[in-house]
Structure 1
């Protein structure tokens, strides 16, 4: 009779490739990685417990809200299939005579944080090893594109500085925008940077955004006249020194009612920088459109799903609606004491 499948974990001091030997059922292990690095989530099995050609391995990422887990990678025999946003960023090396089915994730992002399941199926018993990925260091702020309520391409350089400041941020540097581009920012509207240049980041080349034959990268208009030329702006916000939250209310609110509701809760209405920092750096996810301090309505989605943001993680922009209409809730920001 074939022996029961078990997972062997070997522990080393290096984060991202640590294992510790234990028997089934193993306890979750924690792996740490820096933002933008590559990391390996460990998972092994005893080759003697698997019949030739019968190995099936499935990696999934646990949903924090108790909904359906996110598929990452499936191995059946020699065939591997990856899913969704993980795409070509994940891989493993495995065969019937190789007991290592550890998962490597390249270019780690904050969105990759969480618990992963390595499920090994041998036809006799399914064994699951849990691995918790923590992402640290690296990025300590977030870059976000911004245009005011009166429309795109309406800011000279001084206006751009004020617009970012009003939203609790500063005009981003080239290095900050470059790092955000490497982390996936794709935006087809040109914006001021703090050196007086105007640029925009493209990860998916296409005709309206600098041409489809050009490579991904930062498209640059070079230095522009700071007084006469008008564009959008890229702002940079540091990590939060407080928390952003959705204020539960019995009814929809006008803008003024939203402002007062946050004040009544000993907070302030959240600024655009607050919602971007909470989303990008803290993984904030909420599928409710709410007022922000600039009069815009937005909502943060870290886990794409139907009816929220089906194709990408993003801070979704709704509009600058009539401030007198009772159509939305509100996001508040409460600073640390």
Structure 2
């Protein structure tokens, strides 16, 4: 047996291992196939550049958004190179980064809740901007655009943030009854998502003042105070977002701060000849061609569409509320907001707010 046989076997195994490792997300990628036509696999003195400008995007929920990204070489190459492009997403909840899309040339594959909703623009050479269709509340966060060419690997980041409104929420059972999972479900049922600290902080800067502590997306429990007072941490503490820190997501119970974004369609007070109990209110909205509005839809309509009505009406969670953008006598406090009468008996007769996507 040839004394060099073991060495040859080792080299063969190493080569096969390199080929097998080049399979990623179903895309074959091998450096040796990415030459410049002259047998050169890597270029000396050539730098790969990746840029995302502007580094942020503010889309409308339900619409499309383009996250900019482009790449080029310095100095410019005379022969195009085949590169691998990957877009990844770090959600605002702080969960781990996950793949959005992987592409080589015009072949691409999308993943997770982005599947069949994302593609590359590729209008001009080097353009690898990501287009996301039907933007949802879940899509917020930081996106990383990565270009891989042989040993070169460069990336750039784009932040996607939806315009929205933060509102405190507690269920009909009253204050401090929700685990983290229950809080997440409660926000989703109200056409909203659990707010992040950044969203709560922005809402506090805009004047949100609420004494009950609520869950945030990172598992912490906090509350915003603009007017310090004794029942809310005492007079010795200045205004700010007060924090209980991270709480146990299963055993601890609090309220929640929800985040709702701009909505397509409209929320309206149903003109009806008579007052309605809750089940009648639900049916009346359906008969009118819509559905009973959620709390999140009312807050979004109040904030972004100027919904203003002094009549209390049923919402989908069984609560009774009304929106005021122009405070006036007999319509509650002298500040704008969504007023709440809590959760009356479902047999009581009231008006109703409906939502229509048209």
TM > 0.5:
yes
- C-alpha displacement of 1:310: 3.4
Residue pair 2:310, 2:323 contacting (<8 A) in 1 also: yes
Separation in 1, partners of 2:251, 2:266? 38
Residue pair 2:277, 2:347 contacting (<8 A) in 1 also: yes
Which is higher, the Rg of structure 1 or of structure 2?
Answer: 2
Match for residue 262 of structure 2?
239
Is 1:260 aligned to residue 283 of structure 2?
yes
Separation in 2, partners of 1:283, 1:215? 32
Match of 1:202 among 225, 244, 258: 225
Pairing 1:279-290 to 2, within 5 Å after superposition = 279-290=302-313
Match of 2:345 among 322, 330, 334: 322
Separation in 1, partners of 2:342, 2:352? 14
1:88-141, Cα deviation, whole Å (9 max, x unpaired): xxxxxxxxxxxxxxxxxxxxxxxxxxxxxxxxxxxxxxxxxxxxxxxxxx9711
TM-score, normalization: structure 1?
A: 0.58
- C-alpha displacement of 1:216: 0.7
Pairing 1:155-304 to 2, within 5 Å after superposition = 155-304=178-327
Residue pair 1:143, 1:234 contacting (<8 A) in 2 also: yes
Residue pair 1:142, 1:237 contacting (<8 A) in 2 also: yes
- C-alpha displacement of 1:311: 1.8
Residue pair 1:291, 1:298 contacting (<8 A) in 2 also: yes
Separation in 2, partners of 1:188, 1:281? 25
User: How many corresponding residue pairs?
Assistant: 198
1:260 is paired with a residue of what secondary structure? helix
Residue pair 2:211, 2:232 contacting (<8 A) in 1 also: yes
Pairing 1:1-337 to 2, within 5 Å after superposition = 140-326=163-349, 328-336=350-358
- C-alpha displacement of 1:283: 1.8
1:206-243, Cα deviation, whole Å (9 max, x unpaired): 11111112111100000000000000000000101110
- C-alpha displacement of 1:280: 1.5
1:233-287, Cα deviation, whole Å (9 max, x unpaired): 0000010111000100111000011001100111000000011111112221100
1:319 is paired with a residue of what secondary structure? coil
* Structure 2 residues not aligned, in runs of 5+: 1-160
* Structure 1 residues not aligned, in runs of 5+: 1-137
Separation in 2, partners of 1:314, 1:238? 16
Separation in 1, partners of 2:162, 2:225? 19
Separation in 1, partners of 2:209, 2:306? 19
Separation in 2, partners of 1:254, 1:309? 23
Separation in 1, partners of 2:285, 2:296? 17
Separation in 1, partners of 2:347, 2:332? 27
Separation in 1, partners of 2:227, 2:318? 30
Across the aligned residues of Structure 1 and Structure 2, the Cα RMSD in angstroms comes to: 1.1
Separation in 2, partners of 1:252, 1:274? 22
